[in-house]
Chains A and B, each alone.
Chain A
Amino acid sequence: MCLAVPGKVLSVEEGDSVLRSGNVDFCGVRKTVNLSFLPDVAPGDFVLVHVGFAISKLDEEEAARTYQYLAQIGALDEEGLAP
């Protein structure tokens, strides 16, 4: 449930003091996204977007860690070294 897609923040508009919005890029598709729930987000950050709102900032270190762990399983399996 809850279709949410990660995108890269390109710019943040500091207009309204409460409602922050920004331009987020999803691999070439750009959308205006409401950033009010992530007050610290800045251009270059990745965010998870659901129904036009950024609901969470992607932790890129965690992402790298998770992926590296998985990739390792794949590599070990290839070499026949999996436990």
Chain B
Amino acid sequence: MKYVDEYRDPHIAQAVAERIARKVTRHWVLMEVCGGQTHTLMRYGIDELLPGQIEMVHGPGCPVCVTPLEMVDRAIRIASLPGVIFTSYGDMLRVPGSESDLFQARAKGADVRIVYSPMDALKMARANPDRRVVFFGVGFETTAPANAMAVWQAKREGLTNFSMIASHVLVPPAMKLILQSPSNRVNGFIGPGHVCAVMGFEEYDELAREFRVPIVIGGFEPLDLLEAIGMLVAQLEEGRAEVENQYSRSVNYEGNIAAQDLMREVFEVSDRKWRGIGSIAASGYRLRDEYAAFDAERVFDLKELSAEEPKECISALVLQGLKKPVDCPAFGSRCTPMTPLGAPMVSAEGACAAYYQYRRHA
């Protein structure tokens, strides 16, 4: 595949890793923010190529992992209502709620369907005027434009049977939380490449300045990550703390203006609860009042459901890079992809699932 395969060249990977090894003089802790980047690191064993002084910790960039427990519960509640067609990206189906998950809801008779795009959910709404179609709108900023478009188009067409559970989260507030923590060990960040393709990377200037950390916006292929790591190491060794863009073939400073305009039209920034972490101010999107008719949480008027994580799950610490999945006593024994205690074990991008799939040496 063009623009993919060439960034997976193992020989160049080796050479870049050796270059990093020659440059590094002390221990550095680096965090890749996106779950997709974690996935690549694990799948290609990039951490095995890096010199021992580089420690990679995994960030909270998995929207599935951070979708709050009660959001999943609400989704299951809505899906189980008669006449509802509940649509979702595949990622969410196995994520455990307090007592169940969407797959099990389907087993009990709920009409739960996987879609590749939110526009497919819209198609279902048009094709089934007598059913209420609900779309589970999770994601970071990368997915927000698509989700916004579905709602915007629904309003434009005057659909009365389509709504969305808006469960969006934003990256910069999560990074800020990590940086503000007294136990933070991260020296440098690989920024979220696809989030920045949409948003640009102006927001990261402020973080780099305020906390004096280098941030390199990175892509998702092995060579992208290695190059980003190399750029971070260079900054750290030279005492710089800037924002650089490794993923320049897909990311520019301003981002995608048309996408941002539509997101602003449909969404507004709101506080959000992050699973395992708690509430972070101004860290998510919700639908504006003008789109209330398409906001599933308002349409279905669910009582405030709250829920507690199982005490054994340390996903909060894993999501903030304070612990690795293998540090968790339940990892691989009580907590497996079959019997997950927390979302990072279920989500394909979750750190725990990645470790379990590629690396456990139980």
Contacts and interface: CB of A to CB of B under 8 A. Distances in A.
B128 interface: no
B117 A53 contact: yes
Contacts of B19: 73, 77, 82-83
B249 A1 contact: no
Nearest to A40: B258
Contacts of A18: 156
Interface in B81-130: 89, 116-120
Given A37-B259, A59-B249, A62-B249, A70 B227 contact: yes
A58 B18 CA distance: 29
A38 B198 CA distance: 11
A6 to B, nearest CB: 4
A55 interface: yes
A52 B227 CA distance: 28
B3 A58 contact: yes
Contact of A27 (B2, B9, B34): B2
Nearest to B14: A77
Interface stretch (B45-53, B189-197, B298-306): B189-197
Most chain B beta-carbon neighbours within 10 Å: one of A4, A56, A60:
A56
Contact of A56 (B36, B139, B149, B250): B250
Contacts of A39: 258
| Interface residue range, chain B | 35 or more
Interface stretch (B140-148, B177-185, B332-340): B140-148
Interface residues of A, number: 41
Contacts of B140: 1-2
A74 B12 contact: yes
Contacts of B149: 34, 36, 53
A18 B9 CA distance: 40
B36 A2 contact: yes
B214 interface: no
Most chain B beta-carbon neighbours within 10 Å: one of A46, A63, A70, A83:
A70
Contacts of A37: 145, 256, 258-259, 262
Interface string B213-253: 00000001001000100000000000000000010111110
B120 A26 contact: no
Given A34-B119, A66-B249, A70-B227, A6 B15 contact: no
B35 interface: yes
Contacts of B89: 51
Given A36-B149, A70-B223, A50 B143 contact: yes
Given A52-B117, A63-B3, A58 B250 contact: yes
A37 B119 CA distance: 14
Interface string A58-83: 11101101110011011011100011
A56 B2 contact: no
Contact of B16 (A50, A53, A67, A70): A70
Interface in B242-274: 246, 248-252, 256, 258-259, 262
Given A2-B143, A4-B142, A52-B120, 10 more contacts: A1-B36, A1-B140, A1-B349, A39-B258, A51-B116, A52-B116, A55-B142, A70-B7, A71-B12, A83-B22
Kindly list the 3 A-B residue pairs having the minimum CB-CB distance in the complex, ordered from nearest: A52-B117, A77-B15, A74-B12
